[in-house]
Structure 1
Amino acid sequence: MKIELLTEAEVASLNTLIESSENIVVCCHKSPDGDALGSSLAWNAYLTSRGKHANVIVPDAFPDFLKWIPGADRIIRFDKNADKAGEMLEKAELIFCLDFNGADRVDEMREPLEQAKAKKVMIDHHLDPSMDTVLTISHPNMSSTSELVFRIVWQLGAFEEMTKEWATCVYCGMMTDTGGFTYNSTQPEIFFIISQLLTKNIDKDKIYRNVFNNFSPWAIRFRGYLMSQKLNVFADLHASYFAISKREMRDFHFIKGDAEGLVNEPLRIKGMKLSISLREDDRHDNLVWVSLRSVDDFPCNKMAADFFNGGGHLNASGGRLRCSLEEAEKVARRAIAHYEDLLK
């Protein structure tokens, strides 16, 4: 089965960049998810296996349910250690940008990243890469950036040396970015990759439990409240949305990650094609985060670009609105109405 995806020129360029660099930084996007962390930590482990000094820097906090991932305790948060992280970026000879397609995705880390003199390499699976790099490895048809990392390491001939911890990071990233392999995961190569990861003695069932069965009692009550009291269903259009306010998050002792995956729940309704989640930012006024999920060929990414200043994948996208939550709900209703013909 063909796993390789780099050209001979890309392999040569990547090897040369790594060999000629001793001080390396790996970074990912704001609000890191399982794929961002999994791919970054896995790639960092590969670089370390080659004798390189590498560090993982993330823009801000990641969910509690991902803190168990091997290597997570060594991650440097830019929002908590801006001076240290900034110095690392400044002194780096090579920076790997994983799971994001543009510098705007790293938020407050953007300026030091763009000003860094290091050569930059992108490894990503999102559409329309826009960063200035010496090497861009962009494959939007891949399930995840973690899958890309596996394929690259496999092609570089280093899979046999990689550890159980490395394989755990890759599997977690692939699993989370496909909703437990329930979407964007029909390529047969994906299951070959899983079979190879299992040879490293990973416990895939425990990885699943660590991610998806790791909520607090408050989080479960919060999710039940949203589905019973806040879900707006447009049955004739096979669409839905729900909105989460700052007050509701305070009332249910919300912590980062408590709403993770919740946008997928309405898609369990028979015939549902589209689900939209709106969530007020808990620190800033008039900022609403938007997540969109769909099934089959409904273009979440186009709706996100048209109405929510965002983008992403066909069936999983996101965006943001600079407005009140009430106004954001009106935008969501307009978006659903605009796409009536595709939703019916």
Structure 2
Amino acid sequence: MLKDILSKDERDVLETLVEESENIVLCCHTNPDGDAIGSCLGMAEYMRYRGKRPLVIVPDLFPDYLQWMPNTEKILRYDKHTAEADAVMAGADLIFCLDFNQTKRTDAMAASLESATARKVMIDHHLEPDMDCALVISRPEMCSTCEMVFRIVWQLDCFTMMTSQFAAPIYCGMMTDTGGFVYNSSSPDIFFIISRLLTKGIDKDKIYRNVYNNYSENRLRLIGYVLYCKLVVVSDYHAAFFTLTKQEQRRFRFIKGDAEGLVNMPLQIKGLKLSISLREDTERPNVVLVSLRSVGNFPCNKVAEAFFNGGGHLNASGGRLECGIDEAVEITKKALSHFASTLK
């Protein structure tokens, strides 16, 4: 049996907030991933069971490989419908902030979120939450925000009333945030949750194919190009990094999601501890998006914090540099040198 995720006081506050609210918004961070979209859709399904009419608002485009999930067609994109989204935010009674711990992680949507008078509930598994909310449910030990949403619905004795429209996005978010259950997923509770989700008739194999076997030919050729031509292996530091410029992204007709999982691949090299991806933002000049992955106890989140204006989890983190790609490479080399003693 699962241990309760909410204290009695937290449960009471959450239930009161939901009961007293009519205009409910659920939102997530920019560049939404499977956990962000999955937790929003899962919690929205629970809200519908409670008789509410929730609206999911996301800051920008989410990848094609997530658009199969039920109710994605109801999602409102802030970057495409800014005025409408601002009005919805301003008129909300309650806003759920899912899978992010600071408003700045919503980028252009942050001002609207901060100015909204609605009471806010944070449900998140990232370290160091920093938002003004009526209720903060922060559990960094959980594998994903989707796991947290499941546990909340389970504790509120409502899981039996949920359908596959709840189970599918929750499973997808748990799967993607653990790389297909290959990291941060050793807790027996995770597999108990999976067993319960499967009772709702979801096809976990099809979900896997939808996410991981649903890319374009260009994506596959991009992977080959990066691994053969761009990968820099720093053997002395048991690390690797690669760059991806705007020109290269245009060459391979890059679309959002095409770089998903690419930063993990160098970790297949025996003995490697750290992998870093440096990708030029195609929409903003002099912005380099940074992804970091590590294995074992090496804290890539500390590297992200110290050198890349970011953070995250022990083995999966991200950041952003406001500079050109050449300068980003030099910063990466300095980062590797700085952490040499723990990488060697």
TM-score by length of 2: 0.99
- DSSP-derived class of the 2:264 partner: helix
Spell out, residue by residue over 1:32-67, the C-alpha distance to the aligned partner (whole angstroms, 9 max, x if none): 000000000000010011001100000000011111
> 5 Å matches for 1:24-103?
24-103=24-103
Shift of 1:201: 1.2
- DSSP-derived class of the 2:176 partner: helix
Spell out, residue by residue over 1:287-316, the C-alpha distance to the aligned partner (whole angstroms, 9 max, x if none): 000000000000011100000000000000
Return the alpha-carbon distance in structure 2 between the equivalents of residues 166 and 37 of structure 1: 12
Does 1:314 pair with 2:333? no
Shift of 1:2: 2.5
Return the alpha-carbon distance in structure 2 between the equivalents of residues 247 and 149 of structure 1: 40
- State percent identity of aligned pairs: 59
Shift of 1:23: 0.7
Aligned-partner residue type, residue 2 of structure 1: L
Shift of 1:5: 1.0
Return the alpha-carbon distance in structure 1 between the equivalents of residues 22 and 5 of structure 2: 26
Aligned-partner residue type, residue 32 of structure 2: P
Return the alpha-carbon distance in structure 1 between the equivalents of residues 3 and 220 of structure 2: 40
Structure 1 runs (4+) greater than 2 angstroms displaced: none
Return the alpha-carbon distance in structure 2 between the equivalents of residues 215 and 268 of structure 1: 21
Shift of 1:285: 1.1
Q: In the alignment, what sits opposite 1:265?
A: 265
Contact persistence 1:65–1:257 (CA under 8 A): yes
> 5 Å matches for 1:1-344?
1-344=1-344
Return the alpha-carbon distance in structure 2 between the equivalents of residues 45 and 18 of structure 1: 13
Shift of 1:3: 3.5
- DSSP-derived class of the 2:54 partner: strand
Return the alpha-carbon distance in structure 2 between the equivalents of residues 241 and 35 of structure 1: 25
Contact persistence 1:42–1:166 (CA under 8 A): yes
Unmatched tracts of structure 1, length 5 or more: none
Shift of 1:235: 1.5
Aligned-partner residue type, residue 143 of structure 1: C
Return the alpha-carbon distance in structure 2 between the equivalents of residues 278 and 336 of structure 1: 14
Contact persistence 1:35–1:176 (CA under 8 A): yes
Contact persistence 1:3–1:154 (CA under 8 A): no
Shift of 1:236: 2.2
Shift of 1:321: 0.3
Return the alpha-carbon distance in structure 2 between the equivalents of residues 219 and 190 of structure 1: 31
- DSSP-derived class of the 2:60 partner: coil
The number of equivalent residue pairs is 344
Return the alpha-carbon distance in structure 2 between the equivalents of residues 61 and 136 of structure 1: 26
Shift of 1:197: 0.5
Shift of 1:237: 1.4
Contact persistence 1:303–1:335 (CA under 8 A): yes
Return the alpha-carbon distance in structure 1 between the equivalents of residues 298 and 239 of structure 2: 11
Return the alpha-carbon distance in structure 2 between the equivalents of residues 304 and 70 of structure 1: 34
Return the alpha-carbon distance in structure 2 between the equivalents of residues 187 and 89 of structure 1: 37
Spell out, residue by residue over 1:179-205, the C-alpha distance to the aligned partner (whole angstroms, 9 max, x if none): 000111111100100011111111000
- DSSP-derived class of the 2:140 partner: coil
- DSSP-derived class of the 1:53 partner: coil
